Chain A
């Protein structure tokens, strides 16, 4: 599967907005165009949101072809929880579900059903282990990757429960296997995603589990087709989502779903960095559960959504409290069996844990970088193509950049010549 954030270089003007915004400093400007360092990227989508020229676009070409893959005898769609918030208020949710089927799927498994189950697992895990505090949510792949790259000491605080998307895929796949007597490779599971991070969770998971989702569809790439079908749809009968489970779309929702009282929901990259700093400094150990979500308002803020995150939150709350629907969950009775068999749990692999520090090498590297840094002007202007002078010094150390790339130094030299 392709990398999910693509840059249209003809639109990129080299303005440095994305480079300065990137929380893992994964972006550099080379010859006036942005480049993403794939190994550093956590797919948070900040660059997509901030780019004033809309140069970043979601790119998952294969799912189009895979929809027509003859090997798939049964195609399952898993719509994300924020999806119901993407249509005008009052839109019948059954029409949305039926519209998804019209796009060529055989079955829709609502992710809210899996969310209910994961919420129960969260509650159970928090109640059974009182030593790890705070537990940190693992449903936002971007937040988990931020922790891995910037807060490795907090890896132990991750609650390490597979996210609802994965549980939904596992359960619906199992259903299709049994009911239609199909093999795993004959079933295609497609997740309709609000954000690029979910793609990364499928292609490159953190943890020792095999992803159950096959393909990820960025919501905004099918939104037009979907909306047309929603308008046309006349069938308004369906299996309702769980009205508690869909609350996961908005920050704080999963804690409410899990019936937690002592939780902290933090959303938006800058905010979660502040809270993770606090946790790393030994505070917040009096909080049971921290929902750290990379996007503002939670998953409704994902960069593949269409509607403003605050408006979408209002829609989700409206549906969740609506008397029109009856909350439903086909698999809720299976919780105990699933929990005891370890369906929710995963463990970190060796490569997920922080690398052991070679202190001697670290000191040598640090001294060399500081020496380079002392020659740079310290303006963090970004004109060299790195977000800060320190990042530039690190690039020079890694032989990816030159001291002479510094515009300020070059200007000084020129002045001296004259």
Chain B
């Protein structure tokens, strides 16, 4: 009973589509805002979901972001299909990035994605393998 969220917002994220990149996280933001969630919490969720979304766009073959609302917390789940993160510790280092030159030219791939997600969360879990990556981030209300 306690494990089921009161509400789930889900967004499909398409790989390499920079035209719509960011739409998912801004929808999450506006949904949380219309619920009346505290602005400081929304700000943290917005940063985390934006980074998660960009990671899916830049590095994966596509995926989904779920924003689960509980009585006392918001849990953001980012899941994608491949190719996985080879060295998680390295990927968690600020400034480390595997983004291609063309992505960097667009202004992305600064190597702050995962570190930022961790920085703004209360709990951060990552599981990764060649079939995909799943990140679960919790922010307490």
Contact = CB atoms under 8 A, between A and B. Distances in A.
A151 interface: yes
A366 B35 contact: yes
A179 B71 CA distance: 60
Interface residues of B, number: 14
Interface in A342-357: 357
Contacts of A71: none
A369 B34 CA distance: 10
B37 A363 contact: no
Contacts of B12: none
A283 to B, nearest CB: 10
A357 B36 contact: yes
Contact of A357 (B7, B34, B37, B40): B37
Contacts of B141: 357, 359
Max count, chain B CB within 10 A of own CB: residue among A281, A359, A366? A359
Contacts of B39: 151-154, 280
A359 B69 CA distance: 8
A363 B40 contact: no
Max count, chain A CB within 10 A of own CB: residue among B35, B70, B141? B35
Nearest to B41: A153
Interface string B32-59: 0011111110010000000000000000
B20 interface: no
A370 B31 CA distance: 11
B6 interface: yes
A411 interface: no
B40 A362 contact: no
Interface in B1-46: 6-7, 34-40, 43
Contacts of B6: 359-360, 363
A282 interface: yes
B38 A153 contact: yes
A154 B6 CA distance: 27
Interface in A152-206: 152-154
Contacts, number: 35
B40 A359 contact: no
B112 to A, nearest CB: 16
A55 B7 CA distance: 46
A282 B6 CA distance: 28
A282 B43 contact: yes
Contacts of B7: 363
Given A359-B69, A360-B71, A363-B7, A281 B43 contact: yes
B46 to A, nearest CB: 8
Contacts of A363: 6-7, 35, 69
Contacts of B70: 359
A362 B38 contact: no
Interface in A271-301: 280-282
Given A153-B38, A366-B34, A366-B35, A359 B71 contact: yes
A192 B71 CA distance: 49
Contacts of A369: 34
Contacts of A152: 38-39
A280 B32 CA distance: 14
A181 B35 CA distance: 56
Contacts of B35: 357, 359, 362-363, 366
Nearest to A280: B39
Contacts of B71: 359-360
Interface in A127-166: 151-154
Nearest to B35: A362
Interface in B59-75: 69-71
A369 B37 CA distance: 16
Nearest to A153: B39
B40 A153 contact: yes
16 contacts: A151-B39, A152-B38, A280-B43, A281-B43, A357-B35, A357-B36, A357-B38, A359-B6, A359-B37, A359-B71, A359-B141, A360-B71, A362-B35, A362-B36, A363-B69, A369-B34
Interface of B: 6-7, 34-40, 43, 69-71, 141
Interface of A: 151-154, 280-282, 357, 359-360, 362-363, 366, 369-370
Given A153-B39, A359-B6, 12 more contacts: A153-B40, A154-B39, A280-B43, A357-B36, A357-B37, A359-B141, A360-B6, A360-B71, A362-B35, A363-B6, A363-B7, A363-B35
The 6 closest A-B pairs by CB, nearest first: A153-B39, A362-B35, A280-B39, A363-B7, A366-B35, A357-B36
